[in-house]
Structure 1
Amino acid sequence: MVIEVYIASCSGSTAIKKKQQDVLGFLEANKIEYEEKDIAANEENRKWMRENVPEECRPAAGNPLPPRIFSDGRYLGDYEAFFEARENNAVYAFLGLTAPPGSKEAEALAKQEA
C-alpha cells in the first residue's frame, strides 16, 4: 500500500505550504511511508490528481488544490479530512493502515472492542 501526497513545490500560497508541511511532517514523524507527487514540477502529476479527485470533493470553482492524499490510486481526502482524522486519533484508519501498538489510535480501538 502506497500513500501518495500530491503537493505543489512552488506554491505562492502560505496556507497551502503550511498544510503540505503539516501532512508530510506527520507522516515522517510517525514513520509512515509515502510518495510525494509534485504537481508544480510535473504536468502528469497535476493532470492525474485533478482527474482523480471525486466530483463531490472538488471546489465549486477552480481546480482541486494540494495537498491531496491517495492510497494506491484511491482518493482519501484533502487537508481538512486529514486534519479531522488527526484530531480524532484516526489517521491510520483514514490512511487505510493498521495503527501501531501503543498508539493513541490503537488504544482507542482496543477500548471500543472491549
Structure 2
Amino acid sequence: MVIKVFLASSSGSTAIKKKQQDVLGFLEALKVDYAPLDIACNEDNRMWMRENVPVEKKPTNGIPLPPQIFNEESYCGDYETFFDAKEDNAVYAFLGLPPPPGSKKREVPMEECNGDEHTEEVEAEVGGETGEEAAEEKVAEEKEAVEDTEESLEDTAPVKEEEAQEEVEDEEAKGEDDQPVSEEEEELRQLEEEEEEEVTEEAEEEEDE
C-alpha cells in the first residue's frame, strides 16, 4: 500500500506550501512510504485528485486544494483532517495503515494479563460496567428531577385554589354591592329621610318658641 500525497510544487500560496511541508515532514519522521504527486505539472494527477475526492469533502467551490492524501485508491483526507489525526496520535488509522509494533499503544503489564480480571478492567475502561452504572445514575437523576417538579406543582396547586376562591368571593361581594336597589327599599329609604326631616323641623320650631 502506497500513500499518495497530491501536491502543487509551484503553488504561490505560502499557506499551502507550509501544509505540504508539514505533511511530508511528518510522514518522513514516521518512516511511512509515500509518493508525492505534483498536480501543477501533471494534468492527469490534478484530474485524478479532483475526481476521487468525495463530494462531501470538497469545498463549496468544488475544487479541492492540495495537499490531498490517499491510500492507493482510498481517500484519507486533506490537511485539516490529517492535522486532527496527528493531534490525536491516530495518523496510522487516518492513513489506513497498521501501526508498527510498540507505537504509542498502551502496553499491558504481565501482572494484569490474568484473563477475566484484565477483561473486566478493559470493559470498565471502554464503558462496560462503568457505562451501565453511569446510565443508571443518569436515569435516577432524571427520575428525581421529575419527582421534584411534581412535588413543586402539588405544593403550589392548593395555594392557587385558595387564591381563586378568594377572587370568586370578592367578585360575589362586589356584585351584591352593585346590584340595583329595589322599589321597596327605595320607598323605605325615602320614608326614613322624610321622618328625619320632620324631626329636624320640629326641633327647630321648639327652639324658636
For the criterion TM > 0.5, the same-fold answer is yes
Higher helix share: 2
Gaps of 5+ in 2: 109-118, 123-209
Distance (whole Å) between structure 2 residues aligned to residue 78 and residue 41 of structure 1:
20
State the SS of the aligned residue for 2:21: helix
Post-superposition shift, 1:102?
2.4
Q: How far, CA to CA, are the matches of 1:95 and 1:75 in structure 2?
A: 9
Taking CA–CA contacts closer than 8 Å with sequence separation of 6 or more, which of the two structures ends up with the larger relative contact order? 1
| Percent pairwise identity | 66
1:90 corresponds in structure 2 to 90
Instruction: Tell me the equivalent position of 1:53.
Output: 53
Structure 1 residue 21, shift from structure 2 partner: 0.3
| Structure with the higher fraction of residues in strand conformation | 1
Aligned residue pairs total: 110
Q: Runs of 5+ in structure 1 lacking a partner?
A: none
Structure with larger Rg: 2
Match of 1:42 in 2: 42
Task: Supply the RMSD in Å over aligned alpha carbons.
Answer: 1.5
Q: Which whole-Å deviations, capped at 9, do the CAs of 1:38-78 have from their partners, x for residues lacking one?
A: 00010000010011111000110151000000011111100
| Cα distance in 1 between the residues matched to 2:99 and 2:62 | 35
Runs of 4+ in 1 over 4 A off after TM superposition: none
SS at 2:27's partner residue? Answer: helix
Equivalent residues in 2 for 1:15-34 (5 A)?
A: 15-34=15-34
Tell me, what secondary structure is at the counterpart of 1:41?
Answer: coil
Amino acid at match of 2:15: A
For normalisation by structure 1, the TM-score amounts to: 0.90
